[in-house]
Amino acid sequence: MVSARFRPAFQLTQAGCLHHKSCKFSHTARPNERPMDRFLNRLPEWPISPAKPSFENLEVPILGFENPCGYAGQVTGSANERFALGFRRLHCVLVLIFVALASVEARTGFAWGPEGHKTVAILAVRYLRPDALAQIRELLGSESMQEASLWADDVAHSSRTETAPWHYIDIPLSDSRINLNRDCPQGRCVLVKTEEFLAVLPNPRTTRESRREALKFVLHFIADLHQPLHCEDNHDRGGNAQDVVFQNHPDNLHWVWDTGLVQEIDPEPHRLAAVLAREITDSRRAAWDQGSIRDWVLESHRLAQTVAYAHLRLAETPAIDRAYDQHAKAVVKLQLEKASVRLAYVLNMRLGSLEVRNPSSY
Ligand SMILES: [Zn+2]
C-alpha cells in the first residue's frame, strides 16, 4: 500500500487524483455528496469563538447514527461553560474524523488489490515453461514475480504518475466495440500499453533495464485487463463514483470488484491460488490459451455489462445482495484464473525459446 494515499478526504480534489480508478474519495469530483463528505462540509470553522459556538446545525450522518457529539439544539450557560462544551464536542468530532479516515484508508484499493495481483502471479508460475521462467528470473533478480506485479500501481501513485491511465480502458458501457481514438487517447490505455510492452520483452535491441520494466508492466496489466471494471466506463470513473453498500458498509463498485470480492473469497494469495488452481483443468487452459489482448479486453467489457452493472438494483446506492455477491465472486475467480493462465501464455510466447514461439497467435 502507498502511504501517500493516506490523505484527509477533504483535501482530495480531481487534480489530486493520480489514478482514475482509485479516486474514489475525490471530494470535488463526486456527483453526489457521500455521508463522509456531508459530514466534513459541515465542520465548524476554526477557531471557535467561546461565546458563540457554531455547531448547532451540524449533522453527523455516518456510521448509522446521527449527531453523536450532541450538536443539535441551543447551547446555553456562561461563556466558560459554553467554551468547555464546545471543546468537548470538538474533541468528539476529531475522534470521529480519525475513525472515518481509518475506514477510508482500509477501503481504498488500486486495480485488483495486492491480493488479486499476487494471486495471478503465483498461479502463473505454475504454467510457465522453464526457459521462460529462467529469463524472468534473470530479469527480476531477487525480486519475486508477485512483488514485481505490484510495482506498476506503486509508481502510478508516486514517481510515474503519467502511467496511471495505462491501467484501464474507458470503453463506454453502452457500447460493445473498441474505438481507440475515443477509448484510448494517445495510446495511453491498458490495451495499447500491454501490447507495446509485450513487444519489448523479446527485443534484443532493447536494454536489460527496458525489458525488466516491460516485464513488470506486463505482470500487472494482464491482471488489470481481466478486471471487468478496468475495461468500461459508465460515466462513473469505472465504477469509482458508483456508490454501493457492501457487507453493510458504504463503498463503491470499483473497490468491491478490485478488492472486496477477492478478500471475501480468500485474502491470502497463496491459499487463494491453491483453490483456483484446482479449477484450472487442461481443457480450460487450452480454451483460454488463445485470442488477443483486444479479445480479452472485450471479454472483460462484456462481463461489466452482463454482470457487474446488469445485476445492480436500480437504486441510488444499491446494496450488494447475496445473489449478486455469489454471481460476482464466481466471475472474479474465473477472471483471476484466466489472467494467470494467459499471463503465462504471453510470457512463454515472448520469453520462451524461439522455435516454440508463435507470435501470430496474438
Ligand atoms: Zn493497476
pLDDT tens per residue, range 259-299: 999 999 999 999 999 999 999 999 999 999 999 999 999 99
134 found inside a domain = yes
CA–CA separation, 169 and 189 (whole Å)? 5
Domain that holds residue 43: 25-106
Closest CA to 215 of 284, 313, 145, 262: 145
CA of 59 to the centre of ligand 1 (A): 37
pTM assigned to the model: 0.71
In the block, residue with C-alpha cell 458504504: 250
Look at residues 76, 106, 136 and tell me which one is the last residue of a structural domain: 106
Helix, strand, coil tally for the chain in percent (to 5): 55, 5, 40
Look at residues 77, 106, 135 and tell me which one is the last residue of a structural domain: 106
CA of 153 to the centre of ligand 1 (A): 5
Q: Are residues 309 and 281 in the same domain?
A: yes
CA of 71 to the centre of ligand 1 (A): 42
CA of 134 to the centre of ligand 1 (A): 25
Q: Which three cell numbers stand for residue 117?
A: 495481483
Q: Specify the number of domains making up the chain.
A: 2
CA of 70 to the centre of ligand 1 (A): 43
Q: Are residues 227 and 323 in the same domain?
A: yes
Residue 165 has pLDDT above 50, yes or no: yes
Q: Are residues 121 and 89 in the same domain?
A: no
Mean pLDDT computed over 337-360: 80
The CATH number linked to 185 is 1.10.575.10
CA of 61 to the centre of ligand 1 (A): 33
pLDDT reported for residue 315? 75
274 found inside a domain = yes
CA of 109 to the centre of ligand 1 (A): 10
Average pLDDT of the chain is: 78
Neighbours of ion ligand 1 (CB under 5 A): 111, 153, 167, 224
User: Which residues, at least 6 apart from 112, have a Cβ–Cβ distance to it below 8 Å?
Assistant: 120, 223, 224, 227, 258, 259, 262, 336
pLDDT tens digits for range 92-103:
455 444 444 444
Angle at CA 245, nearest 5°, toward 17 and 338? Answer: 70
247 found inside a domain = yes
Count CA atoms within 13 Å of residue 62 on its CB side.
25
CA of 167 to the centre of ligand 1 (A): 5
Band of pLDDT at residue 78, cut at 50, 70 and 90 = low
Q: How many CB atoms lie within 10 A of CB 267?
A: 13
Q: Are residues 129 and 96 in the same domain?
A: no
Q: Specify which residues 249 forms β-bridges with.
A: 246
CA–CA separation, 66 and 71 (whole Å)? 10
* CB-based contact 4:15 (threshold 8 Å): no
CA of 116 to the centre of ligand 1 (A): 11
CA of 40 to the centre of ligand 1 (A): 29
Q: Are residues 48 and 120 in the same domain?
A: no
Residue 167 has pLDDT above 60, yes or no: yes
pLDDT reported for residue 86? 60
Q: Are residues 173 and 279 in the same domain?
A: yes
Mean pLDDT computed over 7-20: 30
CA of 83 to the centre of ligand 1 (A): 49
Q: What proportion of the chain, given as a percentage, has pLDDT over 90?
A: 64
pLDDT reported for residue 353? 73
